Amino acid sequence: MQLLSITYRSTGDGPISSCKLLPLTSFCWPRLLTSEMSFLRLPSMLTVIILSLWETSGCGAMTLNSTALLQVSARTRGGGAGVYSTQSRRRRSWVWNQFFVLEEYTGDEPLYIGKLHSDLDKGDGQVRYVLSGEGAMSIFSIDEDTGDIHTTKSLDREQQAYYTLRAQARDRNTNLPLEPESQFIIKVQDINDNEPKFLDGPYVARVAERSPVGTSVLTVVATDADDPTYGNSAHLVYSILQGQPYFSVEPKSGVVRTALPDMDRELRDHYLLVIQAKDMIGQMGGLSGTTTVTVMLTDVNDNPPRFPRKSYQFSVPESTLVSAVVAKIKALDADAGPNAEMDYRILDGDGLGTFRMLTDPHTQEGLVILIKTLDFETKTSYALRVEASNRYMDTRFLSAGPFSDVATVRLQVEDVNEPPCFSPRISQMAVSEAAPVGTEVGSVSAHDPDASNCPIRYAIDRKSDVENYFDIDRQSGVIRTSRRLDRELSALHNITVLATESLDHSQVGKAVVLVSVTDVNDNAPSFPVEYQTSVCEDAQPGQIIVTLSAVDLDEAKNGHHFLFSLAAKAAWNQSFVLRDNNDNTASVLTWRAGFLQRERPLYFLPVVISDCGTPPLSSTNTLTVTVCECDLHGNRRSCVQEMSALLLPEGLSLAAVVLLTGLLTLLGVAMVTGAIRRRRKEPLIIDDERDVRENIVCYDDEGGGEEDTEAFDMFTLRHLNETKRSYHVTAPEPPPSREDKHQLFQEFIEDRLREANLDMTAPPFDSVQTYALEGSGSAAVSLSSFSSLTSLESEQSYHFLSEWGPKFRKLAELYKDREGGGAS
C-alpha cells in the first residue's frame, strides 16, 4: 500500500480553495505517483488527506484513509494531555468535502462508500464513530469501530441528488467528542436510466396544401429526467421514423418541416408522423422515446368549379307561381369551405326577364327562380346560358386557368288547364244605403285562358257575404242587392266572386269586389252622453251650468251643423234658458235666482237637436238638473241624487239603473233567504253551560216549588226545537177540559218565536222575549198580579188554589189570609 496526498489547486495562483475526492468506482488512475505532494490549508486547522491506493499497474479500487503525517498533541493549560480544546490551535486529524455513490445499485451486499479514520484512533477500540443527518442509519450506515460507510438501499438521483450528513469521533467510555463535528455531502451519481418523454404528445398540426419545402409545421419537445450536467444521458437527438419523404425533423431543435412540394389536399388530406427522441447524442445504447404527429393539410382555392354536364333541360308547368324554384343545377368544386363557395348568374338567353338565379348557401346549388308568370299559349320554351364562378379567388393559382364554368339550361313550358281569369281582379263599386232591394251594383267579367274557352258560371263566396246582402247573376256576372243596406252598420263590403268553368268545376277563379255604401241622412243627432248637471240654490241669473254637444251617425260632406233649442213645452219655463253657440254646442243658463231644494229638487229640460241634412232630422233629449245646497264658494254640500250619483257609473242610463237596482234587490232577497235557511239548520244551543236564554215551554204538570225536582222535564228545556216533535212521547196527555186554553197559548208562543227567528236584527242567542198574554179564562187568571195585593177594589178570589193540591197549599194559605184581611 502506498500513501499519497493528492491536492487540487485552483486555476489561479492563489491558495487552494477546495478538495475533490474522486468517486470510489472503477476508474483508471495513470501515474498517480507523480502527483504533487502538498498540504490543504483550511481555516484554523491543518490536515492532510491521504489516499491509500491499492497497488495496481492500471486500474483498481480506491479507499479513503486518514493517516497522521505530523504528530501534533494538544494540551490543556495545566500542561497535561487532554481532550480537544477550542482554545488550543491544533490540526484536524481528518476532513473531506464530498463522497460519490452510483444510483440504482442492485447488489445484494451494502455498497461501500468510504472510510472515516481519526489519528486519535489507536486501534484499541476507544474511539466510536457517529453518523447523523439525512438518511443516517436508514439509508447510510457506519461501522462504529472502523468508520466504514455503506449504503443499504438503492438510490435514485431523480428523487434526491445528494444527502448532507455529519460525522464525529467520540470517546467510547465517556461519549465525549474527540474532535469537532464535520459535515460532508454524499452525491448520487447519475446513470442513464430515464428515457426521453414527450410530455405534450401526441401532437396535431395543420399546414396549408401546396406549401413550399421547408415550411415549419410544429416543434416537438422531449424531456429527459437524467442529469444534463453529467455525461450525455440527457443530450437528445430527434429523428423521424414515419412520415418520410413528406416531412422531416431537425435533430437538435425538433422542428418538423415539409419535405415535398405541392402536396395536394384533394389527393390526401392528412399524414401520421412518428418522431423519436434518443439520448446519449443518439449513440448506440442510448434510451429513446417516441410520439405521433398528425398533420392535417388545410385547403386552398386551387380547383375551379366545373359543371358535370354542358346542357340541362327542365319542364315547367305554366301554372307555376311567381318566386317558385323551377330548376336546380350544381357545379362541382374539389375545394372545401369558403374556397368551394360559388355564385351563379345568367349570362344571356331569351329568359332574362322571366327568370333569375340564386345560390343555395347550404348546398351551393344554382336555383333558377321564376319572376314572371308563364303562358303556354304565348311562349313554350326558354334557353339560358348560366355561369358558375368561385366567390373567393387565390391569385397564386390564376395562371392555371379561369375559376368559372358555363352551361346551358333549357326550360320547356307545359300546358295546363287554367282556371278562369278576372279582368280586373279587384273591382270597386258603390251603392246608396237607401237603394231598394234588387238594385244593380255593378258587374264582373272572367274568361277561360285556355284554347277551349269553356263557358263561365259566377257565384259569390258566402264566407265573404255571410249576411247575404248581395246576389250575382250566374251567367252575366251582374251584382244586385238582396236586402236593405245600412252604412252606419257597415260602410264597406268586401266580397269574393267565384268564376267556375262549366265543364270542369275544379277550375275556379277568384276576384275581389269592394262595395262602398253611400250615406243618406237617416239618423237624427243626439247627446253623446246622458247629461246630468246641478245648480246651487243661490245661483244667480245668467250663470252657465252646462255646455251641450251632439253627435250624428250620418256622414256629412262639409261637416255637421247642429241647431239647439228647448222643446215647446219648456220654452216658457222661468228657471233656465238655452243659448245656441253656433259651433255645434249650446249652453244652458239660469234664468232666475233663488232655487229651493225642498220645493223642487229636480228639473227636466227637453232639448231639441236638429241637423242640416236632406231631409233635416231632429231629436229631443232630456237634460237633468239637480238642485243642491252649496257653500259660499259654490261647492256642493248635498244634493237629492248625490248618493245615487256616487253609486252609479258615469253615463249609465235610467233603464240600466232600474235594471241594476232590480238585480241587486233580487240578490239581497236570495242572500237573506239562504241565511235564514242556514240559521234554521244550525242548532241554537252550542254549549249547555252557556245556554242562559229564557224560554217559555208549555207543560200540563204544575210544579211543587223549589224542592220539587221531578215535576219538570229538563230534557225538554235543553232541546227546545225538538219539543214539538217529542211532545206526544215525553209530555203527559192534557186533560180534555184544558185543551182549548193551552192551544191558544201555544199558538201565541209559536207565532212570537217564528217572528224572532225571522228577525235578522235580533240577537241569535242570549235574549229575553216579552210575552204580554196571560191567557183568557185561566183558572189562575194571573200569578204575577202583585198590584192586586194593594188594590182595595180587587174582587179576585183565590179559593181555587186549595183545589190544586198539597203542592200549592202554602200559597193558598197566604192568599186566603190576604183575602180575609181585605174583607175585614
Q: What is the pLDDT of residues 479-507, one digit of tens each?
A: 999 999 998 889 899 999 999 988 888 88
Cis peptide before 196, with omega less than 30 degrees from 0?
A: no
Percent of the chain with pLDDT over 70: 72
Q: Give, in order, the Cα–Cα distances in Å from 751 to each of 142, 172, 526, 635.
A: 128, 133, 58, 53
Q: Worst-scoring range by mean pLDDT, 28-32, 105-109, 417-421?
A: 28-32
Most confident of 241-250, 551-560, 805-814: 241-250
Q: State the Cα–Cα distance between residues 722 and 738, nearest whole angstrom.
A: 23
Q: Three-state SS for 48?
A: coil
Q: State the Cα–Cα distance between residues 824 and 401, nearest whole angstrom.
A: 162
What mean pLDDT do residues 557-586 have?
87
Q: What is the pLDDT of residues 737-757, one digit of tens each?
A: 455 656 777 778 887 777 777
Q: Worst-scoring range by mean pLDDT, 30-44, 153-167, 514-528?
A: 30-44
Q: Worst-scoring range by mean pLDDT, 146-155, 364-373, 632-641, 662-671?
A: 632-641
Q: How confident is the model at residue 477 (pLDDT cuts 50, 70, 90)?
A: very high
Q: State the Cα–Cα distance between residues 584 and 547, nearest whole angstrom.
A: 10
Q: Give, in order, the Cα–Cα distances in Å from 824 to each of 796, 798, 802, 817.
A: 15, 16, 21, 11
Q: What is the pLDDT of residues 342-373, one digit of tens each?
A: 999 999 999 888 999 999 999 999 999 999 99
Task: Give pLDDT, residue 679.
Answer: 62
306 secondary structure, DSSP code: B
Who wins on pLDDT, 238 or 674? Answer: 238
- Please, what's the b/e burial string for 254-271 (b: 16 or more CB within 10 A of its CB; e: otherwise)? bbbbbbeeebebeeeeeb
Task: Give pLDDT, residue 48.
Answer: 32
- The alpha carbon of 702 is separated from its chain's Cα centroid by a whole number of angstroms, namely 84
Q: How confident is the model at residue 124 (pLDDT cuts 50, 70, 90)?
A: confident
Q: State the Cα–Cα distance between residues 751 and 516, nearest whole angstrom.
A: 75
Q: State the Cα–Cα distance between residues 576 and 604, nearest whole angstrom.
A: 10
Q: How confident is the model at residue 135 (pLDDT cuts 50, 70, 90)?
A: confident
Residues 6 or more apart whose CB falls under 8 angstroms from that of 261 comprise: 210, 211, 212, 213
What mean pLDDT do residues 124-133 have?
88
Task: Give pLDDT, residue 546.
Answer: 93
Task: Give pLDDT, residue 770.
Answer: 58
Who wins on pLDDT, 444 or 714? Answer: 444
Q: State the Cα–Cα distance between residues 578 and 541, nearest whole angstrom.
A: 13
Task: Give pLDDT, residue 819.
Answer: 55
Q: Three-state SS for 645?
A: helix
197 secondary structure, DSSP code: B
What mean pLDDT do residues 72-92 have?
37
Q: What is the pLDDT of residues 606-634, one digit of tens each?
A: 999 998 888 888 999 999 999 998 888 87
The dihedral through the CA atoms of 172, 176, 177, 183 has a sign that is positive
* Whether 578 contacts 545, CB under 8 Å: no
Q: Which of 434, 809, 794 is nearest to 614 (CA)?
A: 434
Q: Which of 344, 254, 362 is nearest to 307 (CA)?
A: 344
Task: Give pLDDT, residue 498.
Answer: 94
Q: Which of 181, 180, 140 is nearest to 160 (CA)?
A: 140
Q: State the Cα–Cα distance between residues 500 and 436, nearest whole angstrom.
A: 29
Q: How many helices (H) and strands (E) does the chain have?
A: 7, 45
Residue 62 buriedness (CB in 10 A; 0-12 / 13-18 / 19+): buried
* Segment holding 741, helix H or strand E: helix 739-758
Q: How confident is the model at residue 445 (pLDDT cuts 50, 70, 90)?
A: very high
Cis peptide before 245, with omega less than 30 degrees from 0?
A: yes
Task: Give pLDDT, residue 464.
Answer: 92
Q: Which of 368, 498, 372, 505 is nearest to 446 (CA)?
A: 498
Task: Give pLDDT, residue 701.
Answer: 55
**Mean pLDDT of all residues belonging to the chain:** 76
Q: What is the pLDDT of residues 205-226, one digit of tens each?
A: 999 999 999 999 999 999 988 8
* Whether 700 contacts 709, CB under 8 Å: no
Q: Which of 175, 171, 286 is nearest to 236 (CA)?
A: 286
